[in-house]
A and B are shown apart, each in its own frame.
Chain A
Amino acid sequence: MSGEVVGVWIGAILTLGIFSFLYKDNPFYKFSEALFVGVSAGYWFVVIFWQYFLPKLVDNLALAYTELVTNGRIDYHWIYLIGGFLGVLMLLRLFPKVGWLSRWSLAFVVGTTAGLQFTRYLQSNGIIQVKGTILPLFVGGNLHTTVGNIVIVVGTFCGLIYFFFSKEHKGAFGGAARVGIWFLMITFGALFGYTVMSRMSLLIGRMYFLFSNWLGLI
């Protein structure tokens, strides 16, 4: 029996184990779930060690050390020590007395991410998107674009009005807010529909695996 066949059998049995939860909770499901969690944790530990820790920290510090020993020069690779130090601080969460030190690492991560993302989000998801809604409401000879543009402009405007709570939602303002909520509901419905489609796709993939790769019926 080849390794591939063994792999397919294990995959099929574990798939059925997870599916068995749909009937009711049972030891077969619990075993499959625990195995999945354990294997995932082990896999990620190996990935983090070989893909992150070793090449990004150890290799770079080794380069810095070699440069210092051979040429007596302190090169920029020593900067990775800061990352390593912050990483060690993060692990201090395991020791309640000094656990507070891990907040420094978290503060660094949150601050850096916020700084990095702020301009990018503002540009890509803010300014350009706002620009994308400033559209002509009538495009001569193109009914499709005209209707599309009106929907985008009205939907954006009314959607924003719905979230404006400094004025009571009454009269024309309230009407626009109600239109806004319709747009929001249609959007949420579409998003939910896509999520269902995605989950169905995954189920189709698993079913195909069982009937084709495992049982060879398809």
Chain B
Amino acid sequence: MNQENNQEEKSFWEKLLSIDRRIIFLFIAVAIAVPLFFKVSMHIPVTPIVRGVYDAIEELPAGSKVLVSFDYDPGSMPELQPMAEAFFRHCFRKDLKVIIMGLWPQGPLQANMALEEVFKDEDIKAKNLQYGIDYVNLGFTAGNEVVIDRMGHSFEESYPKDGQGTPLSELPLMKGVKNYDNVDLIYSLSAGYPGTQEWVQYAVDVFHVKLAAGNTAVQAPSMYPYVQTGQLAGVLGGMKGGAEYETVLGIPGIAVRYMFSQAVAHAVICLFIIIGNLAFFSLRKRKRS
């Protein structure tokens, strides 16, 4: 009888190890999809690394100029777009002037999408923000890190005109903005190369500007050492970083909403890892004995 049970148990572990991967895909899909239908308010603690970004903006007086570099494309939207929207909300609430640019061709278009979303907010709409006075979009220019380097000497060298073809000299916001000396903070939203690392290497360490960043989760761990050394004021890492930022701002948005799905999916993955390990070690033990 004991032997029979053993035999049954063995086949159970073996079955688990040879489970069809599509069953796991199904579990993950359900774990992600179902929580999207529920508005669960999760407790999201704000880490110091995210608070660094928040504080960097909070420290700026009204009218300060912030340069935002959109260095990503639609492929990274779920992670970076909520950060972009939250950042714009924060800046406009504090009456900061925003200069948008992109080192990726699709970057400035992502910025326009984020602006469109942010301008739907009643409190921001009430501010009657004007293009060219409160914000500008310089568009994309080719050259990767060379663009960052040249902007340290002159913005106009890299961007003689904005994204709509207006010369920089005709934009009221750009009057008096020659180079990094005339901006108070740079914010890099990045999904790879060129991105935050290049901003650190070519802007922070050469021209000593203050930089904060929002990165995809894949990229974020490579950026954390820059925070420890003071090269970065803070980093929003992936969707979780975006959710923390929305939380500290007090405007829970799409990233906070996504967090429940993220948490359930992670729990399911952890469960599968535990089951897989149990099955593996159990079978190994049996083989040895």
Interface residues of A (CB under 8 A from B): 22-23, 47, 51-52, 55-56, 116, 120-121, 123-125, 128-129, 131-132, 152, 190-191, 194-198, 200-208, 211, 217-218
Q: Distance in Å from the Cβ of B65 to the closest Cβ of chain A? A: 24
> Given the complex of chains A and B, what is the CA–CA distance between A32 and B141 in angstroms?
31
List 12 contacting pairs A-B, 8 Å CB cutoff, sorted by A: A22-B25, A47-B105, A120-B201, A124-B205, A197-B238, A203-B265, A204-B78, A204-B265, A205-B258, A206-B78, A208-B78, A208-B254
Measured CB to CB, the nearest residue on chain A to B227 is A132
How many B residues, CB 8 Å from partner?
47
Q: Distance in Å from the Cβ of B188 to the closest Cβ of chain A? A: 14
Contact yes or no, A124 B231, CB < 8 A: yes
Contact A202/B78 with A123-B205, A124-B205 known, Cβ cut-off 8 Å: yes
Contact A218/B220 with A51-B140, A194-B238 known, Cβ cut-off 8 Å: no
Name A198's contact: one of B79, B105, B229, B265 (CB within 8 Å): B79
Contact yes or no, B79 A208, CB < 8 A: no
Chain B residues with Cβ under 8 A from A52's Cβ?
A: 142
Contact A217/B37 with A120-B202, A194-B217, A198-B218 known, Cβ cut-off 8 Å: yes
Name B32's contact: one of A23, A123, A131, A207 (CB within 8 Å): A207
Measured CB to CB, the nearest residue on chain B to A191 is B221
Contact yes or no, A204 B37, CB < 8 A: no
> Given the complex of chains A and B, what is the CA–CA distance between A20 and B105 in angstroms?
30
Name B229's contact: one of A131, A202, A204 (CB within 8 Å): A131
Contact yes or no, B79 A202, CB < 8 A: yes
Other A-B contacts than A124-B201, A208-B254, A211-B37, 6 sampled, CB-CB below 8 A, are: A51-B141, A120-B145, A120-B202, A123-B205, A197-B262, A211-B36
Contact yes or no, A132 B225, CB < 8 A: yes
> Given the complex of chains A and B, what is the CA–CA distance between A56 and B140 in angstroms?
13
Interface flag for B216 (CB, 8 Å) = yes
The contact string, 1 if C-beta is below 8 Å from chain A, for chain B 187-218, is: 00000000001001110111000000000111
Contact yes or no, A201 B25, CB < 8 A: no
The contact string, 1 if C-beta is below 8 Å from chain A, for chain B 32-49, is: 110011000000000000
Contact yes or no, B229 A132, CB < 8 A: yes
Contact yes or no, A124 B200, CB < 8 A: yes
Contact yes or no, B262 A201, CB < 8 A: yes
Chain B residues with Cβ under 8 A from A129's Cβ?
A: 225, 229
> Given the complex of chains A and B, what is the CA–CA distance between A132 and B205 in angstroms?
14
Interface flag for B175 (CB, 8 Å) = no
Contact yes or no, B240 A203, CB < 8 A: no
Contact yes or no, A195 B36, CB < 8 A: no
Interface flag for B77 (CB, 8 Å) = yes
> Given the complex of chains A and B, what is the CA–CA distance between A75 and B238 in angstroms?
47
Interface flag for B127 (CB, 8 Å) = no
Name A204's contact: one of B76, B145, B205, B262 (CB within 8 Å): B262
Contact yes or no, B231 A204, CB < 8 A: no
> Given the complex of chains A and B, what is the CA–CA distance between A51 and B238 in angstroms?
29
> Given the complex of chains A and B, what is the CA–CA distance between A218 and B34 in angstroms?
11
Among B75, B217, B221, B240, residue most surrounded by chain A Cβ atoms (within 10 Å): B217
Q: Distance in Å from the Cβ of A29 to the closest Cβ of chain B? A: 14
The contact string, 1 if C-beta is below 8 Å from chain A, for chain B 93-105, is: 0000000000001
